[in-house]
Amino acid sequence: MDKLAGMETFVRVVEGGSFAAAALATGVSPTMVAKQVRAIEERLGARLLHRTTRRHQLTEVGQLYLERCRAALAGVALAEASATELQRAPRGPLAIVAPVGFGSRVLAPALAGWIATHPEVSVELTLDDRPEARIAKDCELGIVIGDVRDTALVARPLRPYRRVLAAAPRYLATHGTPDHPDELAQHSCLAIRYWRHADSWHLVGPAGEACVVPVAGRFTANEGGALRSAAAAGAGIVLQPEDALADDFASGRLLPVLPAWSFRPTPMHLVYASDRRPTAKLRSAIDFLVGRFGV
């Protein structure tokens, strides 16, 4: 006898209260239902039901077996539903959260390209510099820059997040171009006011060597875009996310400084809840984002 079929029959007997009710639900005879239940009891070596003329009652072993049967049957149903869902075309809204800067500069245009190839999908992007909390509440996917602290989340590693140095051509023409991080102490360095690394930059070189450089400057701000604008106007050397500087480098407004060096790379992850039911939409988004931003 098929074990899953036997489990389903046993559950129907309990829920219906009799062999006859289970027989009516499954389309077989009451005799066959009774035979299936007896076969389970013989295999387990324990009685599952107290049989009376009017109703069957569970034994202690039967109650435990019923709970396990329901869990097993639910797992099978979920597996089959998931397999069916994953074969469908992606559809429905995707709720995703990402840090403000990365989300607006990099993720938003990437997702625009993804939905262009999936006409039945829409994106609900939330920008939040503390994305982990959103995953547990109302978002299916998230981008986390830094370590993932929530052990209930699945974390797929992406390319490390890099911050690099840049300055305007006019600044470098006037003050010179540093050849080593130690020379930054003689330059005007622009810093985010609230950043805990504002007075020292922890740089990593081409061979992995580390260098902690004390920095100072006459211009600070509480927002990265303002610092880039000040740097483009010749105020000094700025340390910014590599993706934030891409357009400035392309236009020549800013030039790389010490291009072999960068701020200590920060881990970046694609995260989602470990108990999240897989769907074609979610699978497609994960594959796309890992392919686009993966290691």
The domain total for the chain is 3
Same domain, yes or no: 109 and 242 = no
What is the mean pLDDT, run by run of 10 residues, along the chain of 295 residues? 82 85 83 88 88 75 89 78 65 92 94 93 92 83 91 90 96 96 94 76 92 91 92 96 94 96 93 80 92 89
pLDDT at residue 7, rounded to an integer:
86
Same domain, yes or no: 219 and 253 = yes
Domain that holds residue 37: 3-86
pLDDT at residue 193, rounded to an integer:
78
The whole-angstrom separation of Cα 28 and Cα 70 is: 21
pTM: 0.65
Task: Give CA angle at 103 (153, 117), nearest 5°.
Answer: 90
3-state SS class at 82:
helix
Q: Is the dihedral of CA 220, 221, 222, 227 positive or negative?
A: negative
Which of 86, 105, 132 is a domain's end point?
86
Same domain, yes or no: 99 and 61 = no
